[in-house]
Amino acid sequence: MPNSRENLLPAVDPAYCKGCARCIDACLHNCIEMGNEINPLTGLTPVILHLEDCTHCGLCVTACPEPYGLHMDSITDDYSAVRPETFDGVVKTRPKAASIPSTKIPINPGKPILIKGTYASSIGAVLAGCRHFYGYPITPSTEGAELMAKLLPNLDGIFIQAVSEVAAINMLYGTGGAGLPCMTFTSSPGFSLMLEGISYMIGSEVPSVIVNIMRGGPGLGNIAPEQSDLKLVCHGLGHGNTQCVVLAPATPQEMLDLTMLAFELTFKYRNPVIIIGDGYLGQITGKVSLPDYMIQPGLPDWAVYGDAGHRGNLIASIDITEPDLEARNIRLNHKYDTMIKAEQRSDSFFCEDAEILLVAMNTPAQMAKGAVQQLRSEGIKVGLFRPITAWPFPVDALSKLIPQIRQIVVVEASNGQLEDEIRLSLSKAGVTQLPPISFVRRFGGILPQTHEIVEKIHALEGVVA
Ligand code: SF4
Ligand code: SF4
């Protein structure tokens, strides 16, 4: 018998109902009420239907924004009957999306250009295929966002100045969830505001690139350079069991190169990637060579994207049952272990025969490099070990150097955050026989200077100037 309105009733599919309550408002006969149980598959609470007084008007179905949330159907409580694959009565298999890989497109790199660090990072993002930027201006990172605002509209991209950092990070959550390369620039206080969203993105395994141009703290601090957020990016990315690859460039060239790498890694691991630069690095101008390729992004099969193949995908960080949440954490831990093995990066400068080892990253590494050159000219065997990944800390490379080193000097623009990372990483790696560790530290917006590092080594070595 063909269906007439009288023998049809609305049916809700809990897998697609978002619990938005529009159907409740639409029904004049109070046939629909909010549910009281979270659907463990979606983390959302679907509505409940009481259809004794239903007049078959269909207004609820019209009000439902979800294509498969609510449908008029034969009287049934079998939800499989109203799944999209059976709408026309013919069982069909919904097409499953296949991953479309990214492709490299050759370009002419042209001559090197002179640009500041934040601009270099923006250009790296565009070359990596990023066409979605969300951010809230905060010095000293704003120029990166400013350049994206100029570039993206000409590239069919999206630039949104969000109402806050909280809004910006959640826009990244949505865009990354759709499988699209996206990024933000921020600075320390803004980064703090993003932490909740970052935790959600890690839990949901959503990619995005977050560039944090660190400034003086705590609190509002000032707008001068500091390495104030090392502790935060390595051990404090919001609530729960959270880790991200953290890249620490030292030059404008690395701002570009590591931004491109960040986009590769964020999709490789389905995990946000963080770039930390200090305020000086963000503002300093340097010579930057462009690569000879750019990336045309693909589309992963897991993306919550608006086509039929991706329609069945769901991204959420909620697992109501304890075993499910434990399983998710175990899966994340496996991913972190893979990152630790595969993604440690560092740079060594005059380390082969070094007896005194400077350890520094970001701009202080440049100051330390100058000190190594000066001290080497005096015959003092000094080398520089520079972590390029703050997390995972490149402990494998550092451990190999330890036996030949009689003194470590940590050079940093923070009150010992890098030294803590070194001690913790070596301890976890089982390296217990450490040489003495001393430091050159400045903070509050002041970077350690080359002459301060040289004076420190002279003092340790008993050299009278
Ligand atoms: S079909 Fe009409 S009466 Fe029935 S539940 Fe929907 S809105 Fe209410
Ligand atoms: S309108 Fe649709 S999605 Fe919203 S609560 Fe009703 S059935 Fe669910």
Rounded CA separation 24/31 (Å): 8
Whether 99 is covered by a domain: the verdict is no
- Note the pLDDT of residue 66: 84
Question: Could you tell me if 362 and 422 lie in one domain?
Answer: yes
Nearest alpha-carbon partner for 282 in 256, 264, 263:
256
Q: Which residues contact 418 (CB under 8 A, 6 or more apart)?
A: 227, 230, 359, 360, 361, 410, 412
**133 three-state secondary structure:** strand
Question: Could you tell me if 164 and 176 lie in one domain?
Answer: yes
Q: Give the chain's radius of gyration (CA, Å).
A: 27
Whether 186 is covered by a domain: the verdict is yes
Instruction: Identify which of 27, 32, 72 to mutate to test ligand 1's pocket (most ligand atoms within 8 A of the CB).
Output: 27
For the chain, give the number of residues: 465
Q: Give the closest residue (by CA) to ligand 2 atom 8.
A: 17
CB 118 within 8 A of CB 281: no
Q: Which atom of ligand 2 is nearest to the CA of 60?
A: 1
Question: Could you tell me if 352 and 337 lie in one domain?
Answer: no
Domain count, the chain: 3
Question: Could you tell me if 367 and 336 lie in one domain?
Answer: no
Question: Could you tell me if 445 and 399 lie in one domain?
Answer: yes
Q: Please give the C-alpha separations between residue 100 and each of 23, 96, 180, in angstroms, as whole numbers.
A: 37, 12, 12
Provide the CATH number for the domain around residue 370: 3.40.50.920
- pLDDT tens over the chain, length 465 residues: 444 667 788 989 888 888 999 999 999 999 999 998 888 878 889 999 999 899 989 899 999 988 778 888 765 444 344 444 433 444 445 567 899 999 999 999 999 999 999 999 999 999 999 999 999 999 999 999 999 999 999 999 999 999 999 999 999 999 999 999 999 999 999 999 999 999 999 999 999 999 999 999 999 999 999 999 999 999 999 999 999 999 999 999 999 999 999 999 999 999 999 999 999 998 899 999 999 999 999 999 999 987 778 877 889 898 888 999 999 999 999 999 999 999 999 999 999 999 999 999 999 999 999 999 999 999 999 999 999 999 999 999 999 999 999 999 999 999 999 999 999 999 999 999 999 999 999 999 999 999 999 999 999 998 876
Rounded CA separation 368/359 (Å): 8
For ligand 1, the distance from its centroid to the CA atom of residue 69, given in whole angstroms, is 14
Burial of 136 (0-12, 13-18, 19+ CB in 10 A): buried
For ligand 2, the distance from its centroid to the CA atom of residue 419, given in whole angstroms, is 53
Rounded CA separation 218/228 (Å): 8
Question: Could you tell me if 140 and 19 lie in one domain?
Answer: no
Question: Could you tell me if 236 and 304 lie in one domain?
Answer: yes
Q: Which atom of ligand 2 is nearest to the CA of 18?
A: 3
Number of H helices and E strands in the chain, helices first, is: 14, 20
Question: Could you tell me if 366 and 322 lie in one domain?
Answer: no
**Domain span holding position 55:** 5-86
CB 8 within 8 A of CB 73: yes
If you write DSSP's letter for every residue of 178-242 in order, what string do you get? TT--EEEEE-HHHHHHHHHHHHHHHHHT---EEEEEEBS-STT--SSB--TTHHHHHH-SSSSS-
Question: Could you tell me if 158 and 245 lie in one domain?
Answer: yes
Q: Which atom of ligand 1 is nearest to the CA of 70?
A: 6
- Token couple for 248: 């620490």
Beta bridge partners of 288: 113
Whether 95 is covered by a domain: the verdict is no
CB 119 within 8 A of CB 143: yes
Question: Could you tell me if 384 and 250 lie in one domain?
Answer: no
Rounded CA separation 199/172 (Å): 12
Rounded CA separation 66/200 (Å): 24
In short, whether 367's Cβ falls inside 6 Å of ligand 2 is: no
Provide the CATH number for the domain around residue 62: 3.30.70.20
Whether 97 is covered by a domain: the verdict is no
If you write DSSP's letter for every residue of 385-443 in order, what string do you get? EEESEEES--HHHHHHHGGG-SEEEEEESSSSHHHHHHHHHHHHTT---PPPEEEEE--
Question: Could you tell me if 241 and 384 lie in one domain?
Answer: no
For ligand 2, the distance from its centroid to the CA atom of residue 24, given in whole angstroms, is 8
Question: Could you tell me if 74 and 119 lie in one domain?
Answer: no
Q: Please, how many CA atoms are within 13 Å of residue 15, restricted to the half-sphere of its CB?
A: 11
Rounded CA separation 401/111 (Å): 38
- Token couple for 352: 């082969």
Q: Please give the C-alpha separations between residue 193 and each of 134, 197, 226, 401, in angstroms, as whole numbers.
A: 14, 8, 18, 38
Which of 34, 51, 86 terminates a domain? The answer is 86
Q: Which ligand is nearest to the CA of 42?
A: 2
CB 124 within 8 A of CB 147: no
Q: Give the closest residue (by CA) to ligand 1 atom 4.
A: 54
